[in-house]
Amino acid sequence: MGDGHVVDLKAFSEVQLAAFFKTLKEPAFRAKQFLLRVYTKKAVSIDDITEFSLPLREHLKGISFISSLQTVKRLESTDGTRKYLFALTDGQTVESVLIEDDERLTLCVSSQVGCAMGCRFCLTATGGFKRNLKAHEICDQILSVSRDIEPERKITNIVLMGMGEPLSNYEEVTHALKIMTGWLNISKRRITLSTAGLVPELERLYSDGFRVNPAISLNATTDDLRSIIMPVNRKYNLKTLLSACRRLPIPERRRITFEYVLLKGVNDSPDDAVRLVKLLKGIRAKVNLIPFNEFDGANYKRPSDAAVLEFQEIVAQGHISVFIRKSKGRDILAACGQLKAGY
């Protein structure tokens, strides 16, 4: 830092920013002024940081910059869902999805460019893994969409369910969570983090104090099947994953969400539903059933509405809260499992 190279100020942590300003013989509180202006007041350029003197701003423009995502394309579904394609500074692209549901406005953000998990029902997995997103690139998705919709609307909920496995990018994702719950003033109760089941990182998340809402991508009731459609199960099987879920210090009035993508003739039978009830016994659980969202080249089919309703009924009879997820944005490939940063 401060070695003559042009640096991205947004890429620094608060501690690193304070050290950077120290090299300029500026007080450490400049870091807080910068973060307040960038994340709370959504500044996009050094000129916007009016807390800094004009000479300081002019000097900073010669040695640094503030990065931001470039909106390559924005698509809007017939149901009002919006999908954004963002370009990063290195030319890679990611997608975010804005979903309106009654009073809630939920933004689904990405944590990686691509994904290495290899889940066979997910379009993102077909593109392979490119790289992790930095914390500011994760949060920039929130800032960019906020600029697009404000002042008329405000994002109410964040779900880390976009491209990538959040827990395999642990350090940057947790740094992003600190920014969200701090400078962006988003309640941890309104943030959900989805994982395919990286058990050590899931347990670490809670031991490190990040009490956001967990969502576990389950999708099968036997190890044999889950290992086929979700390779992560070969390392952390159902028993290991669900034992970890039972140990999580979930607040009394909250539950763990289990996501279950229903694949026709694969995991949607009444026997599967019965096994799911048994697997979740003793866990304060909520189940989201997601009828498979088809895409070109997919190896699976969407089950019939009757099969989905029968599955839901069996799980409900097991005294588990179970909902059928509305798959919004399917016509623009913005539904669950359909993101792939390109058109």
Q: Which two tokens stand for residue 103?
A: 């009073």
- Strand 157-160 and strand 191-195: pairing? parallel
336 is catalytic: yes
Cα 3 to Cα 20, 22, 36, 46, 92: the distances in Å are 10, 13, 25, 19, 27
283: number of Cβ within 10 Å: 17
User: What is the 8-class DSSP label of residue 321?
Assistant: E
List, in order, residues 6 or more apart from 313 with CB less than 8 Å away. none
Per DSSP (E only), the strands in 203-268 are 213-217, 256-262
CA-to-CA distance for 277 and 312, rounded, in angstroms? Answer: 11
**Contact partners, residue 289, CB within 8 Å, separation at least 6:** 260, 262, 308, 311, 312, 315, 322, 323, 324, 325
d(CA 157, CA 230) in angstroms, rounded, equals 27
Per the residue annotation, which of 115, 119, 122, 336 is the catalytic one? Answer: 336
Q: Report the C-alpha gap between 215 and 192 in whole angstroms.
A: 7
What is the C-alpha to C-alpha distance for residues 268 and 264, in angstroms, rounded to an integer?
A: 6
The catalytically annotated residue of 95, 165, 201, 259 is: 95
The residues, ordered by sequence, that sit 6+ positions from 247 with a Cβ below 8 Å of its Cβ are: 203
300 closest CA partner among 82, 77, 126, 130: 126
Query: Residues with catalytic annotation?
Result: 95, 336
